[in-house]
Amino acid sequence: MDAGPRGLALVLWGLVLLRAPLGGAGLRERPFPSRSAGLGGAGLRRGSPLVREEPPQQPEAGARGPERGGEPWEPPPPQPARKEHKPRGGPGKGLQTPPGKNKKREKKKSREKTLSDYETQMIYEHVRESCPPLGLETLRIRDFQIHSSTVKRYGLGAHRGRLNIQAGINENDFYDGAWCAGRNDPHQWIEVDARRLTKFTGVITQGRNSLWLSDWVTSYKVMVSNDSHTWITVKNGSGDVIFKANSEKEIPVLNELPIPLVARYIRINPQSWFDNGSICLRLEILGCLLPDPNNYYHRRNEMTTTDDLDFKHHNYREMRQMMKVVNEMCPNITRIYNIGKSHQGLKLYAVEISDNPGEHEIGEPEFRYIAGAHGNEVLGRELLLLLMQFLCQEYMAGNPRLVRLIENTRIHLLPSVNPDGYEKAYEVGSELGGWSLGRWTHDGIDLNNNFPDLNTLLWESEDQRDNSRKVPNHHIPIPEWYLSENATVAVETRAIIAWMEKIPFVLGGNLQGGELVVAYPYDMVRSMWKTQEHTPTPDDHVFRWLAYSYASTHRLMTDARRRVCHTEDFQKEDGTVNGASWHTVAGSMNDFSYLHTNCFDLSIYVGCDKYPHESDLPEEWENNRESLIVFMEQIHRGIKGIVRDSHGKGIPNAIISVEGVNHDIRTASEGDYWRLLNPGEYVVTAKAEGFTFSTKNCAVGYDMGATWCDFTLNKTNLARIKEIMEKFGKQPISLFRRMKQRTRQRRQ
């Protein structure tokens, strides 16, 4: 090698490559050997060296041999995990060339070209590494990193070619469901810039998401480059590999590359497509980012967490085991219980976190988080498993904020309310389930809209002014038809309703996925023929604050610079939305909870990706951790108290009314209540059957902590008369009946 600065720079660069690990379990650090002669291929510049390790010859299913343009190549079936393979040449030497070629290479060493920034490296590993997605679906890959040859229009641009992206009902706008090429010919392409050297291992494709059209790609080629000008096509021998793609538009199809490719850019070149459609696709790229300590851009944007938690996806058995671990770590503040069983007989486990688990304390509000109503929206499930670990650890460490929260709140975490659906999604993995596999229960019911429609009962009653039997504005009873055995009600739904009625919940969050927004009631429109209409509750200002408290403390929800997940720009509303103004849902959990119980429930959409790869879980935890805690703390905003009789005994089912708010709540079995309110002064009335009502002025401050507002009710005269007569064994007679009896006697 030549002496001088250039030679020194080349030596240093070679040392960096020798030390750069490829990442992942079972892989060894190895050098990238270089050769002066490339393997050829379209678009390869003269003198542009290609580095390649030849794999052992294996029969390829569906391949026609070395000639170009053969039949579509089918990757071999996945092999079981094998022990770590020791490369030839002894430890630390990596993959070496065959012994017979060593001497020849040593003679030509002085003339050999050194690896440069414009070389594409191809590496064969005897033990294939499992690389995570680059992040097209999670939006970690930005729009400016995706390019294409042509586009049909802006709404079908390259930035829309993301796995599982959804189109709106109204197409031909800015938010369609795929990248679509401007022309249908085999020269079209879409490429992704990883912005650093990456070991690409696979490609996942989908067709176009559309209610009206059927567009998908049936085969494609894969190319890689380090400068976006010189491209090398993935080959099988001397012929280009043609990968089989999709046969319909929604089910994702994974193709693993025959050998991992190290490059910066990767390009997908469609070769055939559905006969009656166009070139349209959505994709995700699998790849391992190689270390690049000198790149400030990546170091600045890398998200890390300091929390020592179990960041992985847990199936049913592992979820149960994790709950046991938390319970054993913190037995004094945790309790595991189940609220029922799924259709397949899996128990619906919940974890209670409180300083007195298993018992309701007077004056202590009850909070709940529910996740997994849609089995394929698994991020909420994992966030709750992480949250219970985090609360346990921080309580043991004496974190004053969380110690105070746990000692003053009874917290219930139900991470998987649809375990049957989750197991379906878990079986295929994080990227291959599509948008809906596992969404429904085993018997095909969507739990999110399987609750009684109490909205219609309330609104019809309000519209009938002369109706003598008014429906109350709270604790509306469940219709009899819904309680019958023939009603289409999931066993999971019945279990949730029984749980809601048993525990006096005050505030709850229903964690869902596929978006970044907090939706608050009502979820159902009041106008019969509309699909979207702002439909506020009487507590609209409280719900708006609760939604904003989560969204504003989330790392991304209110970030005006972030890209929309699918079709809606929720940043305009500070990351919140009225459910009915987004899309109407009859029989939602949130509306039922508000109209049948005291609990204020909101739907919290915690991520664009319903089922993120487990490598993304630390970042998603950091995105949501503070929000999860802040939202729980809002349960202590408003007023609370106890409604007692003149003897100091709590009165159950007493009604608490706030002047100007047409929605009441009721006291729990011991007479205690909690009413969520924003800061201000309120006129509050407590009333109960057989008692005189009592009215007070109650003020709510800006500091955290609910204002105590107790009531003492005296029995009415009629109630006192009934009590005295029952005490002496006589039945009271109503005044009306006595007067009627006297009138008859006079007439006689």
Given 634, 657, 688, which residue is the final one in a domain? 634
In 203-315, which residue ranges form alpha helices assigned H by DSSP? 296-301
- Between the alpha carbon of residue 93 and those of residues 19, 33, 50, 86, the distances in Å are 12, 11, 21, 10
pLDDT in tens, 436-476: 999 999 999 999 999 999 999 999 888 886 664 678 889 99
Q: For residue 325, what pLDDT is reported?
A: 97
Residue 725 lies in a domain: no
Q: For residue 729, what pLDDT is reported?
A: 63
The total of structural domains in the chain comes to: 3
Closest to 514 measured CA to CA, from 157, 166, 204, 252: 166
Whether the per-residue pLDDT at 541 is higher than 60: the answer is yes
Same-domain status, 344 and 470 = yes
> Backbone phi, then psi, for 356, in 5-degree steps?
-130, 70
Residue 680 lies in a domain: yes
From edge to edge, which strands make up the β-sheet containing 410-414? 334-341, 347-353, 410-414, 366-371, 505-512, 600-607, 515-520, 576-578
Residues contacting residue 37 through CB under 8 Å, at least 6 positions apart:
49
Same-domain status, 577 and 650 = no
Percentage of residues in the chain having pLDDT higher than 70: 77
Rounded mean pLDDT of 207-233? Answer: 95
Which contiguous run of DSSP H or E holds residue 700?
strand 694-700
Given 616, 634, 652, which residue is the final one in a domain? 634
Rounded mean pLDDT of 130-151? Answer: 95
pLDDT in tens, 252-270: 999 999 999 999 999 999 9
> Backbone phi, then psi, for 468, in 5-degree steps?
-75, -25
Same-domain status, 387 and 448 = yes
Same-domain status, 257 and 383 = no
Q: For residue 723, what pLDDT is reported?
A: 65
Q: For residue 296, what pLDDT is reported?
A: 61
pLDDT band at 38 (very low <50, low <70, confident <90, very high): very low
Q: Are 198 and 319 in contact (CB under 8 A)?
A: no
Residues contacting residue 429 through CB under 8 Å, at least 6 positions apart:
none
pLDDT in tens, 170-183: 777 788 999 999 99
- Between the alpha carbon of residue 680 and those of residues 571, 583, 599, 701, the distances in Å are 28, 32, 21, 7
The DSSP letter of residue 738 is: H
The angle, 0 to 180 degrees and rounded to 10, between the axes of the packed helices 491-502 and 589-596 is: 30
CA distance 383 to 617: 8
- Between the alpha carbon of residue 670 and those of residues 486, 534, 645, the distances in Å are 36, 37, 11
Q: For residue 291, what pLDDT is reported?
A: 87
Sign of the Cα pseudo-torsion (596, 597, 598, 604, in order): negative
Beta-sheet strands, E only, within 72-229 = 120-122, 146-148, 179-180, 190-206, 217-225
CA distance 659 to 722: 31
Return the number of other C-beta atoms located less than 10 Å from residue 709's C-beta.
22
**Of 55 and 393, which is predicted with more confidence?**
393
CATH of the domain at 255: 2.60.120.260
Tokens (6 digits) for 510? 């229903």
Tokens (6 digits) for 571? 């940043």
Whether the per-residue pLDDT at 332 is higher than 90: the answer is yes
Residues contacting residue 5 through CB under 8 Å, at least 6 positions apart:
none
Residue with tokens 């003020």: 699
Residue 593 lies in a domain: yes
Torsion angle, alpha carbons of 272, 274, 278, 283, to 10? -70
- Between the alpha carbon of residue 685 and those of residues 27, 202, 661, the distances in Å are 70, 65, 12
Residue 310 lies in a domain: no
Closest to 255 measured CA to CA, from 216, 222, 303: 222
Q: For residue 169, what pLDDT is reported?
A: 77
pLDDT in tens, 340-388: 999 999 999 999 999 999 999 999 999 999 999 999 999 999 999 999 9
Q: For residue 100, what pLDDT is reported?
A: 42
The angle, 0 to 180 degrees and rounded to 10, between the axes of the packed helices 316-329 and 379-397 is: 10
At 736 the three-state DSSP class reads helix
Whether the per-residue pLDDT at 199 is higher than 70: the answer is yes
Same-domain status, 249 and 366 = no
Closest to 696 measured CA to CA, from 676, 681, 675: 681
Q: Are 264 and 225 in contact (CB under 8 A)?
A: yes
Residue 185 lies in a domain: yes
Residue 735 lies in a domain: no
CATH of the domain at 369: 3.40.630.10
Return the number of other C-beta atoms located less than 10 Å from residue 721's C-beta.
14
Same-domain status, 158 and 64 = yes
Distance of CA 707 to the CA centre of its chain: 35
521 conformational bin, left if phi > 0, alpha if psi -120 to 50, beta if neither: beta
Same-domain status, 294 and 351 = no
| Angle formed at CA 63 by CA 61 and CA 65, multiple of 5 degrees | 130
Distance of CA 337 to the CA centre of its chain: 24
pLDDT band at 64 (very low <50, low <70, confident <90, very high): very low
Rounded mean pLDDT of 546-553? Answer: 97
**Domain ranges, residue 683:** 638-715
Given 634, 655, 688, which residue is the final one in a domain? 634
Whether the per-residue pLDDT at 652 is higher than 70: the answer is yes
CA distance 332 to 628: 22
Torsion angle, alpha carbons of 486, 487, 490, 496, to 10? -120
CATH of the domain at 659: 2.60.40.1120
Q: For residue 306, what pLDDT is reported?
A: 84
Distance of CA 60 to the CA centre of its chain: 38
Same-domain status, 490 and 589 = yes
Same-domain status, 655 and 612 = no
CA distance 252 to 432: 5
Q: For residue 724, what pLDDT is reported?
A: 65
342 conformational bin, left if phi > 0, alpha if psi -120 to 50, beta if neither: beta
Whether the per-residue pLDDT at 8 is higher than 70: the answer is no
Q: For residue 404, what pLDDT is reported?
A: 97
CA distance 140 to 160: 14
Whether the per-residue pLDDT at 622 is higher than 90: the answer is yes
Closest to 68 measured CA to CA, from 95, 48, 96, 40: 40
Sign of the Cα pseudo-torsion (356, 359, 364, 365, in order): positive
Which contiguous run of DSSP H or E holds residue 52?
strand 50-52
Whether the per-residue pLDDT at 205 is higher than 70: the answer is yes
Residue 286 lies in a domain: yes
Q: For residue 443, what pLDDT is reported?
A: 93
Same-domain status, 338 and 474 = yes
Closest to 610 measured CA to CA, from 431, 447, 440: 431
Whether the per-residue pLDDT at 23 is higher than 50: the answer is no
The angle, 0 to 180 degrees and rounded to 10, between the axes of the packed helices 617-633 and 400-408 is: 60
Residue 14 lies in a domain: yes
Rounded mean pLDDT of 563-590? Answer: 92
Torsion angle, alpha carbons of 160, 163, 168, 170, to 10? 60
pLDDT in tens, 679-705: 999 999 999 998 999 999 999 999 889
Whether the per-residue pLDDT at 540 is higher than 90: the answer is yes
- The mean of the pLDDT values for the chain is 83
CA distance 284 to 164: 9
Q: Are 634 and 367 in contact (CB under 8 A)?
A: no
Q: For residue 467, what pLDDT is reported?
A: 62
pLDDT band at 416 (very low <50, low <70, confident <90, very high): very high
Same-domain status, 582 and 686 = no
Rounded mean pLDDT of 601-616? Answer: 96
- DSSP per residue, 298-320: HHHH----------S---HHHHH
Q: Are 292 and 231 in contact (CB under 8 A)?
A: no
Reported pTM: 0.80
Residues contacting residue 168 through CB under 8 Å, at least 6 positions apart:
175, 566, 567
CA distance 184 to 172: 19
Same-domain status, 70 and 205 = yes
pLDDT band at 298 (very low <50, low <70, confident <90, very high): low
The DSSP letter of residue 282 is: E
Rg (CA), the chain: 32
Return the number of other C-beta atoms located less than 10 Å from residue 585's C-beta.
21
User: Considering only 290-299, 455-464, 705-714, which range has the smallest mean pLDDT?
Assistant: 290-299
